[in-house]
Structure 1
Amino acid sequence: MSETVRRYFDAFNAADVDAMLDCLSDDVAHHVNEGRVRRGKEKFAAFCEHMNRCYKENLTDMVVFEAEGGTRASAEYVVNGTYLATDDGLPEANRQTYRLPAGSFFDLENGKITRVTTYYNLADWVRQVSDG
């Protein structure tokens, strides 16, 4: 199942939301860092649209782990980004760049991702875009 997670991240780096959606179950639970759980592909797509408007990101130094049985996986990586448009409640965007360690956790079933949970240090991100 880690191949599904790798396809998901390859699609992320290509900014190919449709390919990301193809990796997800219809009722995917998307646990956003510092946010509410969003359920379903439609809400995931809306989240991606918002993110692509405000941020340009590429993930590097990717390490994917898979639990025995293939029903769970995780990944650790570095987010290399540019802050494009001011996001509500966050510092003003002025094309600041940032580099941030992050991780994601997944539940998988029948070759599809049923849960995505992503974590990163928001205070570190705010410091980077405020300083730069």
Structure 2
Amino acid sequence: MSAIEVLRRYYDAFNAGDTDGMLDCLSDDVAHHVNEGNIRVGKEKFAAFNAHMTRCYKENLTDMVLFEAENGTRAAAEFIVNGTYLTTDEGLPEARGQAYRLPAGTFFSLADGKITRVVTYYNLADWIRQVQ
């Protein structure tokens, strides 16, 4: 399976709210670099992060552009996050069901058909302006 095919499966699962489908695309020791946060290693920590995000946010990704390099060992995605802020996330503005639309991107490393590294970036200050 090509890197692009793995990313399509990963993002299709994301948009379907299918955490298990996302986890199936990851290596057991995946390194998840969270925007403005710490690196979480392993599927269990990824799943816990995803559960937290699902509680606080409802998101759908559109305008997806996928890139592949390094013979399928590196890939990237650029997209728009269309979301609703559901529950107040600690240290962030109060949630009142605010809608937001935010450009974002993710870099990936892959090995043996699995994602081994996920690094997501977005403009947190822009998101805060939209939900305040």
User: What TM-score does the superposition give when structure 1 sets the normalisation length?
Assistant: 0.98
Partner of 1:71: 73
Separation (CA, whole Å) in 1 of partners of 2:95 and 2:36: 19
1:57 aligned partner: 59
**C-alpha root-mean-square deviation of aligned residues, in Å?**
0.4
Structure 1: how far apart are the matches of 2:71 and 2:18? 28
Matched with 1:46 is 48
Deviations 1:98-126 (A, max 9, x none): 00000000000000000000000000000
Unpaired stretches in structure 1, ≥5 consecutive residues: none
**Structure 1 segments of 4+ aligned residues over 4 angstroms from their partners:** none
Aligned equivalent of 2:123: 121
| Structure 2 partner of 1:96 | 98
Distance in structure 1 (CA, Å) of the matches to 2:70 and 2:107: 15
**Unaligned segments of structure 2, at least 5 residues:** none
1:122 corresponds to which letter in structure 2? L
Give the 3-state SS of the residue equivalent to 1:69 in structure 2.
helix
CA distance in 1, matches of 2:22, 2:131: 27
1:21 to 23, 33, 47: 23
TM-score for the superposition, normalised by structure 2: 0.98
Equivalent of 1:81 in 80, 83, 90: 83
CA distance in 2, matches of 1:39, 1:124: 28
Identity %: 76
Cα deviation code 1:14-57 (max 9, x no counterpart): 00000000000000000000000000000000000000000000
How far did residue 2 of structure 1 move?
A: 1.1
Count of paired positions: 130
